[in-house]
Structure 1
């Protein structure tokens, strides 16, 4: 897995790469964010322009290569983002392999672990959806998931 310093070093390298290869060439009025080695960009540029920009970013260093998805709907970490006629709409992203299984409430874990699972589900439901409808859908999903997991 590497040493304890690996993550710090990776963050330094990615910060340097962002500062030199990404941010100066980023078109204005774009939404850009990152977490460790994942980045997200929402843009109104053409697909051709974006691909050129991404290919140029790949030339910066031989060991840093971007793989990218250009779409109206994309997941970033555990947020699902959708371009709905020029409006960026967000909701909670659910990985198919992980849903709707949670830590079994019959398992022998400390009680605070179960409370943390529920608290995390609720915080995601509150923070991620950008519409009331998406919030209600997530609320229903949480209720069903908790019922299925006992």
Structure 2
């Protein structure tokens, strides 16, 4: 594949054309794509957190999935389809909840549904290409109910240290000095370690934030909060006075939760967090836009057949992010 062809194909892959005939996606390209799709020995998967595709062997693909599914503490082999039983039990609970309150009524589950399904994306940005396993809940009977519960329960999450976007993170560190030690804490396999909640469920992020929020409340009731602390789901940014304070904080998190945390120290006084690169100077923290090493630098080809408004919106999004994330010109 030539360098000029790759961005064209990426742009084409995102378009829903119906019966419209493309002037870029030729008959030969379609034949190659169809042939590749038929080759069962080579699954084509999206890479995690980057606009790229990964071609791997079927054997390797299923070996990694089997290693995950063999964990009996998180997965159970079924002997029958439990969809109807799940729907019946959920409706029984819904009826009881609706009878007990006049404030919020949950709609009963009606119609035909199926089980969720497991798929995985390759983490090409991490050593060894570990996998990100996601269980899609969209066909499941409780998917709509989970979305409704997520909306109802979100206001009750402990949110003192919770960030919802890069903009909130930038506001938190805007007036921070350049003193101290910068680190990021990351929870290892947060979603797979939460009971009965998987990445892909509408309640996944809510349960993750609730668990982490409760853990933070316990930790900071016994340990002084660092000079700067913020968390986006399971990614934590810390600016502490010294490395000993970081070590003490790390031990507190291990003590007050059932999770394992990794610690990444800043390198050359620079530390990425979300899509922000934070640089420590003598006076303050300087921020710029951060892109992962696996970023292909490709977004949308200017000569593609996408509408002009879509191209303009794409450019505006990049400009807005540059203006919001960069602390200096």
TM-score with structure 2 setting the length: 0.36
- 1:44-80 CA-to-partner distances (Å, cap 9, x unmatched) read x111221122122122112x22211122210000100
* 1:48 and 2:247 correspond: no
CA RMSD of aligned residues (A): 2.2
Deviation at 1:93, TM superposition (A): 0.8
Q: CA separation in 1, counterparts of 2:293 and 2:253?
A: 31
* 1:123 and 2:320 correspond: yes
Which structure has more helix as a fraction of its residues?
1
For structure 1, which segment, 118-127 or 105-114, has the greater mean C-alpha deviation from structure 2 after superposition? 105-114
Count residues with an aligned counterpart.
129
Q: Which has the larger radius of gyration?
A: 2
Deviation at 1:128, TM superposition (A): 1.1
Q: Which residue of the other structure, out of 74, 84, 92, is the alignment partner of 2:271?
A: 74
Q: CA separation in 2, counterparts of 1:21 and 1:116?
A: 43
Whether contact under 8 Å (1:21, 1:57) holds in the other structure is yes
For structure 1, which segment, 86-95 or 72-81, has the greater mean C-alpha deviation from structure 2 after superposition? 86-95
Write out aligned runs for 1:1-150 (5 A): 1=135, 2-22=200-220, 25-27=223-225, 30-43=227-240, 45-62=241-258, 64-71=259-266, 72-132=269-329
Relative contact order (alpha carbons < 8 A, sep ≥ 6): 1 or 2 greater?
2
TM-score with structure 1 setting the length: 0.73
- Unaligned ranges ≥5, structure 2: 1-134, 136-199
